[in-house]
C-alpha cells in the first residue's frame, strides 16, 4: 500500500492553523493577569524582629518608605508591608530591606492586613487593585512572610473603599454597596445596591447610603441613611449568614435618636455608635436594644462621616482605641464602655510591651495598663495625623503617604 501523500494545500492549511493557534495563545498570555503581574517572592521567609524589652527612653528613625496606598502601617506576620502606586513590598522590620514584591499594571486602591489566624498566625496581606477608574475589582491575598500569592477574587467596590478585617472576615466598604469575604476570598455577604442581583428583592434597603461601617467577630455594623427617614439607622448583619451571600441575615435595624451617626465598634455583645448634639456614645445589644449611654468630651466637629466609611481604631489587650480626630478614647473590647481618654491625640493607640503608646504632638504618650499617663517619648515629626503600629521592638508610624520605622535607643 502506497503511503498517503499530502497535498501542498493541506500543508499550507496546517501551517496556517498552527500560526493562528500560536497567535491566540500569545494573545491570551499577553492579556492575562499573569502577564500583567510581576511577583518576586522572598528566597527565605522574613524573620520577625526581637520582642520589645520594655518601653524605651527614646527612639530613632531606622528607615522610611513611600506607602500612599495604606491608611495605617500594615503589619502582617513577621513583615512590614508598604504599598505605593502599583507596587506592594514586604520589608524586614528592622532594616526596611525589600524582601519580596508584587506588582500589577494598574494602580492600587488600598492595601491592608487580614485573617490573622491564616498560615499558623502569619495572616495575609490584602492588595486591592483598580480595574478601571470606576471599580476596585482585583483583590489578591499574599503570604506576608514570602509574598507568595494565596488567593484572589473580584469584588464590585468603588474607589475610596477600605479593607477592614476582623477575625476570619474582611469587609470592603462602600457608600452604596459593600461586601464581606472570608479567608479564601469567597464572598459571604453582599449588601446595598448590587450591580447585577441574582434575584430581585433580596436587599432590604438598596436605595440607602452607608457612610459608616464596623466589623467585629461574625457581625457587621452599619449606619444607614435612607430617603424619607428623619434620622440615621443602625443595622447589624451576620457576616456569613445561612441563606448565602445574596440574602443578608439581619439581627436588627433600628432608627437612631439623631443624624450624623458614626459607628465605632462591634463586639460579641455590643454595638457602639457615636452621635452629636450633644456628643455621646450609645451602646446597643445584638437585639437592637439600647443598653447604655456615655457622654463624650469631644468637639461636635469630630463626629463626621469617616474617610472610607471606617473610623480610625486599633485593637489589642482586650481593648479597642478610637481616634475621634482630636482625642483617643479606649473602649472595653467586650461591653464597649469607655475606659480612658487622651486629649490632643494624633491617632489611635498601640500596645507595646506592658504599656500603651498614643501619638501626640512632639512624641508618643506612654500609658500604663489602666490608662494613666506616665511620660512622653520625644519624636520629631511634622504636624498631622499619625497611625501607629508595633512589631516586636519596632514602632511604625504612617505619616501621610509614608511609613516611618522607629527603633528603640
Residues 93-107 pLDDT 10s:
999 999 999 999 999
Residues 6+ apart with CB under 8 A from 3: none
More confident residue, 61 or 29: 61
Distance CA 188, CA 141 (A): 16
Is residue 29 domain-resident?
Answer: no
In order of 24, 260, 276, 299, the CA distances from 295 in angstroms are 66, 16, 10, 12
Position 332 pLDDT exceeds 70: yes
- Locate 119 and state its grid cell: 498560615
Per-residue pLDDT, averaged over 155-179, amounts to 97
Is residue 27 domain-resident?
Answer: no
Is residue 253 domain-resident?
Answer: yes
Distance CA 182, CA 167 (A): 9
Quickly tell me which residue has 500612599 as its cell.
Answer: 68
Is residue 72 domain-resident?
Answer: yes
Is residue 138 domain-resident?
Answer: yes
Position 29 pLDDT exceeds 60: no
Contact 237, 189 (CB under 8 A): yes
Per-residue pLDDT, averaged over 41-58, amounts to 96
* Domain extent at residue 266: 37-408
Alpha-carbon torsion, ordered 145, 151, 155, 158, to 10 deg: 20
What local confidence, expressed as pLDDT, does residue 198 receive?
82
- Of the candidates 95, 231, 113, the one whose C-alpha atom is nearest the C-alpha of residue 170 is 113
Is residue 12 domain-resident?
Answer: no
Share of the chain above pLDDT 90, in %: 88
Per-residue pLDDT, averaged over 362-380, amounts to 97
What local confidence, expressed as pLDDT, does residue 380 receive?
97
Share of the chain above pLDDT 70, in %: 91
Confidence of residue 27 (pLDDT cuts 50, 70, 90): very low
Position 322 pLDDT exceeds 80: yes
Confidence of residue 20 (pLDDT cuts 50, 70, 90): low
What local confidence, expressed as pLDDT, does residue 34 receive?
54
What local confidence, expressed as pLDDT, does residue 17 receive?
63
What local confidence, expressed as pLDDT, does residue 30 receive?
45
What local confidence, expressed as pLDDT, does residue 388 receive?
99
Three-state SS letters, the chain:
CCCCCCCHHHHHHHHHHHHHHHHHHHHHHHHCCCCCEEEECCCCCCCCCCCCCCCCCCEEEEEEEECCCCCCCEEECCEEEEEECCEEEEECCCCCCEEEEEEECCCEEEEEEECCCHHHHCCEEEEEECCCCCCECEEEEECCCCCCEEEEECCCECCCCCEEEECCEEEECCCCEEEEEECCCCEEEEEECCCCCCCCCCCCCCCCEEEEEEEECCEEEEEEECCCCCCCEEEEEECCCCCCCCCCCEEEEEECCCCCCEEEEECCCEEEEEECCCCEEEEEECCCCEEEEEECCCCHHHCCCCHHHCCEEEEECCEEEEECCCCEEEEECCCCCEEEEECCCCCCCEEECCEEEEEECCEEEEECCCCCEEEEEECCCCCCCCEEEEECCEEEEEECCEEEEEEEC
What local confidence, expressed as pLDDT, does residue 196 receive?
84
- Locate 223 and state its grid cell: 449606619
Q: Angle at CA 350, nearest 5°, toward 146 and 277?
A: 125
CATH number, domain containing residue 376: 2.130.10.10
More confident residue, 195 or 129: 129
Number of domains in the chain: 1
Give me the sheet containing 328-332, strands edge to edge.
312-316, 319-323, 328-332, 338-342
Position 67 pLDDT exceeds 70: yes
Is residue 345 domain-resident?
Answer: yes
Per-residue pLDDT, averaged over 72-82, amounts to 98
- Average confidence score pLDDT of the chain: 93
Per-residue pLDDT, averaged over 13-29, amounts to 51
Position 290 pLDDT exceeds 80: yes
Is residue 147 domain-resident?
Answer: yes
Distance CA 79, CA 76 (A): 6
Q: pLDDT tens digits for 227-283? A: 999 999 999 999 999 999 999 999 999 999 999 999 999 999 999 999 999 999 999
Amino acid at each position: 500500500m502506497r503511503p498517503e501523500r499530502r497535498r501542498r494545500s493541506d500543508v499550507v492549511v496546517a501551517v496556517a492553523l498552527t500560526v493562528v493557534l500560536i497567535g491566540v495563545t500569545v494573545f491570551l498570555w499577553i492579556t492575562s493577569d499573569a502577564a500583567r503581574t510581576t511577583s518576586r517572592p522572598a528566597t527565605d521567609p522574613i524573620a520577625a524582629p526581637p520582642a520589645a524589652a520594655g518601653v524605651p527612653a527614646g527612639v530613632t528613625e531606622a528607615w522610611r518608605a513611600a506607602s500612599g496606598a495604606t491608611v495605617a502601617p500594615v503589619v502582617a506576620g513577621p513583615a512590614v508591608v508598604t504599598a505605593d502606586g502599583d507596587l506592594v513590598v514586604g520589608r524586614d522590620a528592622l532594616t526596611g530591606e525589600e524582601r519580596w514584591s508584587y506588582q500589577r499594571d494598574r494602580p492600587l486602591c488600598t492595601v491592608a492586613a487580614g485573617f490573622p489566624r491564616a498560615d499558623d498566625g502569619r495572616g495575609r496581606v490584602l492588595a486591592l487593585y483598580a480595574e478601571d477608574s470606576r471599580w476596585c475589582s482585583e483583590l489578591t491575598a499574599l503570604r506576608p512572610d514570602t509574598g507568595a500569592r494565596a488567593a484572589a477574587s473580584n469584588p464590585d467596590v468603588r474607589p475610596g473603599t477600605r479593607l477592614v478585617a476582623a477575625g476570619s472576615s474582611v469587609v470592603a466598604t462602600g457608600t452604596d454597596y459593600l461586601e464581606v469575604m472570608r479567608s479564601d476570598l469567597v464572598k459571604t455577604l453582599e449588601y446595598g445596591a448590587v450591580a447585577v442581583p441574582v434575584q430581585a428583592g433580596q436587599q432590604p434597603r438598596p436605595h440607602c447610603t452607608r457612610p459608616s461601617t464596623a466589623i467585629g467577630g461574625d457581625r457587621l455594623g452599619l449606619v444607614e441613611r435612607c430617603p424619607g427617614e428623619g434620622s440615621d439607622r443602625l443595622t447589624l448583619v451576620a457576616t456569613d449568614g445561612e441563606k448565602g451571600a445574596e440574602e443578608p441575615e439581619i439581627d436588627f435595624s433600628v432608627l437612631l435618636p439623631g443624624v450624623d451617626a458614626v459607628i465605632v465598634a462591634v463586639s460579641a455583645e455590643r454595638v457602639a455608635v457615636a452621635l452629636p448634639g450633644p456628643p455621646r456614645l450609645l451602646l446597643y445589644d445584638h437585639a437592637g436594644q439600647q443598653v447604655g449611654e456615655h457622654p463624650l468630651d469631644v468637639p461636635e466637629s469630630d463626629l463626621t462621616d469617616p474617610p472610607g466609611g471606617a473610623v480610625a481604631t486599633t485593637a489589642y489587650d482586650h481593648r479597642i482605641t478610637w481616634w475621634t480626630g482630636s482625642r483617643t478614647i479606649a473602649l472595653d473590647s467586650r461591653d464597649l464602655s469607655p475606659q480612658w481618654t487622651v486629649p490632643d491625640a494624633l491617632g489611635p493607640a498601640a500596645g507595646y510591651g506592658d504599656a500603651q503608646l498614643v501619638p501626640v504632638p512632639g512624641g508618643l504618650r506612654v500609658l500604663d495598663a489602666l490608662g494613666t499617663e506616665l511620660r512622653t517619648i520625644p519624636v520629631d515629626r511634622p504636624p498631622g495625623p499619625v497611625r501607629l503600629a508595633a512589631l516586636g521592638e519596632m514602632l511604625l508610624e504612617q505619616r501621610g503617604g509614608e511609613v516611618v520605622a522607629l527603633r528603640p535607643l
